[in-house]
Amino acid sequence: MKKRILSGMRPTGRLHLGHLVGALDNWIKLQDEYECFFMVADWHALMSEYENTANLSEFIFDNVVDWLAAGIDPDKSTLFIQSEVPQHLDLYMIFSCITPLGLLERCPTYKEQMRQIKTRNLNTYGFLGYPVLQAADILIYKANKVPVGEDQLPHLELARQIARRFNMLYKKDIFPYPDALLTQVPRLLGLDGRKMSKSYNNTIDLGDSGETIRHKISSMFTDPKRIKLTDNGHPDTCNVFSYYSTFIPKIKDEVSDWCANAKLGCTECKKRLACGLIDKLKPFHARREDFAQDKEKIKKILEQGREKAITAASRVLKETREALNL
């Protein structure tokens, strides 16, 4: 029996290269070894972005197109939309009853976001319960492994605490204690050298056209110590070089030589990077076009995913309700 994986992404915008190298490439590799459930976490998007839902359905569709184009294979993995599988909410309700408030109030991600995010009002009942729903997402499938970034570790710890509390209270061994699956992912910074993030407006989106990519790359920051063309550059601290390493590693040494020995200017170096990246993304972009145009196909994939997810989730919910004498 294969071990089970569940992971999800919040559809709060278009996906960018950071999502591709940070999550999707990894999900794709896991598809053969594990039984995978990948969901669009639209309830979680609502919990933090409830004030602006104008583009929610567009983002959901667009993200699914990116997943498929990147190589999430609906014949191998179950791909679904969280809000279409109502069993998540049943378990969320049950977990809400047994989760001590203190656990949620002390959660580091919660405290940090309450402190940092001033542009939205997150002082809501739903936002406090965000990790409870995430625990339900994972445990409704009895998933053992959860591929996520480090920022999600506190939520995984909460999921284990909730599982333990349930098993103890009702003297049943229903829920596993899921672990994060942290894998080495290349660190990809945004165009300006900060973390790649929509809110910094420094992303290259997966749906960007060649022209947009060229334009965006031409605006990238390069080695600040290299002022004149004849100055030697420092590839190891140059963000443009790190893009070469991630996307076109084959020519990495050559590029390093261009830069360190002042054989090529930064403008030309960026032009070549844009060409190389566009070339590298070509098969992805072609698949993306095909999927984006075939709305019926996407609908069908999501319907099948929903059916499979409901079948798996219903089984665990039944067991859970029985443990509660419901």
Q: Of 232, 154, 220, 156, whose CA–CA distance to 191 is shortest?
A: 220
Q: Which is nearer to ligand TRP, 41 or 217 (CB)?
A: 41
* Shortest spacing between CB 175 and ligand TRP, in angstroms: 14
Q: How far apart are CA 128 and CA 249, in angstroms?
A: 43
Q: Which is nearer to ligand TRP, 138 or 217 (CB)?
A: 138
Q: Which is nearer to ligand TRP, 10 or 288 (CB)?
A: 10
* Residue 237 CA to its chain's centroid (Å): 26
| DSSP character string of 179-243 | EE--------B-TTSSB--GGGT---BTT--HHHHHHHHHT----TT--STTSPP-GGG-HHHHH
Q: Of 110, 108, 120, 152, whose CA–CA distance to 134 is shortest?
A: 152
Q: Which is nearer to ligand TRP, 9 or 79 (CB)?
A: 9
- Residue 190 within binding range of ligand TRP, rule CB under 6 A: no
Phi, psi dihedral angles at 37 (to 5 degrees): -120, 120
**Among residues 77, 152, 202, 242, the one that binds ligand TRP under rule CB under 6 A:** 152
- Residue 8 within binding range of ligand TRP, rule CB under 6 A: yes
**Among residues 26, 63, 78, 134, the one that binds ligand TRP under rule CB under 6 A:** 134
* Shortest spacing between CB 41 and ligand TRP, in angstroms: 4
**Among residues 15, 30, 41, 313, the one that binds ligand TRP under rule CB under 6 A:** 41
**Among residues 36, 64, 79, 138, the one that binds ligand TRP under rule CB under 6 A:** 138
- Residue 28 within binding range of ligand TRP, rule CB under 6 A: no
Find the part of the chain contacting ligand TRP (CB under 6 A) among 4-12, 28-36, 169-177, 207-215: 4-12
| Strands laid side by side in the 179-180 sheet | 78-81, 35-40, 4-9, 145-146, 179-180
Q: What angle do CA 170, 176, 177 make, to 5 degrees?
A: 105
Which residues are CB-neighbours of 4 under 8 A, at least 6 positions away? Answer: 34, 35, 36, 37, 141, 142, 143, 144, 145
Find the part of the chain contacting ligand TRP (CB under 6 A) among 7-15, 94-102, 224-232, 318-326: 7-15
**Among residues 15, 148, 220, 312, the one that binds ligand TRP under rule CB under 6 A:** 148
Find the part of the chain contacting ligand TRP (CB under 6 A) among 58-66, 145-153, 195-203, 283-291: 145-153
